[in-house]
Amino acid sequence: MKIKSLLALALAGTTALATPALAEGTIKIAVIEPLSGPLAANGGDILERFQFLFGRVNDAGGVLGGQMFEVIGLDNGWDVEKTAQQMQRAADEGVDYVINGIGPQHATAITNFIRKHNRRNEGAEMAFLAHSAGDNAITTENCDYYQAVFDPTVEMKLNALISGMQELGIEGPVFTINPDFSFGQTVDASFKELAGKAGIEIVGSEMIAPFGQVQDFTPLVARIKASGAKVVMTGNFGPDLIRLLNASVDSGLDVRFAALYGPDPSTMAAVGADKFEAAGVIAPFEYDENDTGGLPVLEELNVTYREVAKTSWGIDRYRMLVDGIVGAIEAAGDAEPKAAMGSIGGVKLTTAGGEGYVRVEDNQMVIPYFIIGVDKAAPATVLYKGDDIGFGWKTEKIIPAETMALAPTCKIEKP
C-alpha cells in the first residue's frame, strides 16, 4: 500500500474511499468526515492525511510483525443522521477504529453508537479516536475506555491562548464570536470564565447560526467596531471564519483576531496572505512548520508531504493520533480495540515543543502548545494543493505540557 496510491484515491473526490484489499488480520480504520457539503475541503484534507500516515506505517512493515492498516473514508455530509448511518456501515464492515473530529455533534453520535455496539457485541468492539476536541461532551464530561482524544480540550486551548495574549501584550477589550452549537457554546462560556479570572474585559458576544449559511458579516463587523473591541476571539471555522475575516479586513476593522482554527489550510488559502496579516491572526496550535524543535519526523514530513500532496504538513496532531494507536497496539501486543485501548493511556508522544503523552485517567492527549502568528517573511510559507499562499507562521510562545495539563474531571472505567 503506497502513499501515492492512497492520496490518489482521496484526491479522486469519491465519498467512500478504500485502500486495495489486504490480507486477513488487517486493522480497519474508518475516517468519518464531511466529504461533501460546505466542509468538504476540510474533510477531504483530513482523509488524505490519515491515508498518508497509515500508508507510512504500512510501508515500514505495519505493526506486530506485519499487520497492516486499511483506511476507508465515509462521508457524513456534516449531517448527524448520516454519521449514525455511516457508523452502522462501519460496524457491518468490521471496522476496528473510527476517526472523526469535525463537529462535536458527530463525535457524540459516534460515542453513543460505540457504547451501544460494544455492550451488544463482545469480542467485536470498536473504538473512537478523536482528532479534535469539539466540546466537553466527549472530553471533560464523558470520557470512555473505548475513546481517546488527540487534541487539547477547549479549556486547555483557551488557557494557553489567554496566557499567550497576556505575555505578548495583546490587550484591550475582547469581542467573542462563536458558532451557535455545542462546541461554540463551550468555547464562549469557557473563554468568558477564564477571561474573567484574568481580568480581561468582554465588550460583546455573538453566536453565529445557522452554520455556513450567513453570507454577509458586514453588520456584525459594524457591531464589533462600535463596541470598541481591540481583540476578536473566535472558535468559528470553515466558511464562517473565511467570511468573517474577509468582511473585517474589507471594512477596515482595526482589531487582532485570536482564531482557534486560523491555521486550517483551506481557510488560509481562501482568505490569503494580505488579509491574514491585516487581521493580525494569532492562534493556539500544536506546532509551527518553521519551528520543528529539531524533531526528525517533522522535518521529514515538512518535505515529503509537500512533494506528494503539494500541501504543507502543518497539522501535526494527526501524526500524534497515529503514533498513539500504533504505540498502544504494540504495547498491548494485540490490535483488537479491547486490548489496545487498555494500553493507550500512558503512551508517549513526540512533539515540536517537547514530550507529550496520553493521560491515563481519561485518554486525553497532553502536549506542549504553541501560540503562532502570521509571518509573510517566514522561511517556509504555506502550500495548499499546489498554491503558495504567501505567508507562514512564527512561534510567538510555547506553553509547556505541565501548564497545559489542567486537572482531569473524568476518569475512565475499564470494562
Which helix (H) or strand (E) covers residue 30, if one does?
strand 27-33
Distance between the two ends of the chain, CA-based, in angstroms?
34
Neighbours of 173 (CB within 10 A): 15
**pLDDT one-digit tens code per residue, 364-379:** 999 999 999 999 999 9
CA-to-CA separations, 275 to 105, 171, 267, 318, 387, in angstroms, rounded: 31, 21, 11, 28, 17
| Burial (Cβ within 10 Å: 0-12, 13-18, ≥19) of residue 227 | middle
Q: What are phi and psi of 305, to 5 degrees?
A: -70, -35
C-beta of residue 236 within 8 angstroms of C-beta of residue 271: no
Residue 117, C-alpha cell as written in the block? 455496539
Mean pLDDT of the chain: 92
According to the model, what pLDDT value does residue 139 have?
A: 65
Cα-Cα-Cα-Cα torsion 255, 261, 267, 269, nearest 10 degrees, comes to: 90
Residue 21 reports pLDDT greater than 80? no
Q: Which of 17-31, 55-69, 231-245 has the lowest mean pLDDT?
A: 17-31
Of the candidates 30, 172, 19, which has an alpha carbon nearest to the alpha carbon of residue 87? 30
Closest by Cα among 9, 85, 91 to 51: 9
Say if residue 245's pLDDT is above 80: yes
**Residue that the C-alpha cell 493556539 belongs to:** 284
So what's the pLDDT on residue 109? 93
- Say if residue 10's pLDDT is above 90: no
Q: Are 109 and 97 in contact (CB under 8 A)?
A: no
Confidence of residue 23 (pLDDT cuts 50, 70, 90): low
CATH of domain 155-290+369-404: 3.40.50.2300
Q: Which CATH class is domain 3-152+313-366?
A: alpha beta
How many Å apart are CA 204 and CA 223, to the nearest integer?
8
What is the 3 state secondary structure string of 227-281?
Answer: HCCCEEEECCCHHHHHHHHHHHHHCCCCCEEEECCCCCHHHHHHHCHHHHHHCCC
Establish whether domains 3-152+313-366 and 155-290+369-404 are of one fold.
Answer: yes
What is the arithmetic mean of pLDDT over 39-52?
95
Amino acid at 278: A
Average pLDDT over residues 343-365: 96
What is the reported pLDDT for 142? Answer: 78
Question: So what's the pLDDT on residue 11?
Answer: 41
Q: Give the count of beta carbons closer than 10 Å to the beta carbon of residue 213.
A: 10
Give the pLDDT mean for 9-23: 41
Q: Is the pLDDT of residue 231 over 90?
A: yes
Q: What is the rounded CA–CA span in Å between residue 290 and residue 91?
A: 41
Q: What confidence score (pLDDT) does residue 219 get?
A: 98
Sheet hosting strand 392-399, strand order edge to edge: 202-208, 174-179, 231-234, 256-259, 282-285, 369-375, 392-399
Phi, psi of 238 (to 5 degrees): 60, -145
Domain positions in the chain are 3-152+313-366, 155-290+369-404
pLDDT digits (tens, 9 = 90+) for 183-209: 899 999 999 999 999 999 999 999 999
Given CA atoms 402, 408, 414, 415 in this order, what sign does their dihedral have? Answer: negative
Band of the pLDDT at 163, cuts 50, 70, 90?
A: very high
Q: How confident is the model at residue 16 (pLDDT cuts 50, 70, 90)?
A: very low
Instruction: Say if residue 296's pLDDT is above 60.
Output: yes
| 346: Cβ contacts below 8 Å, ≥ 6 apart | 357, 358, 360
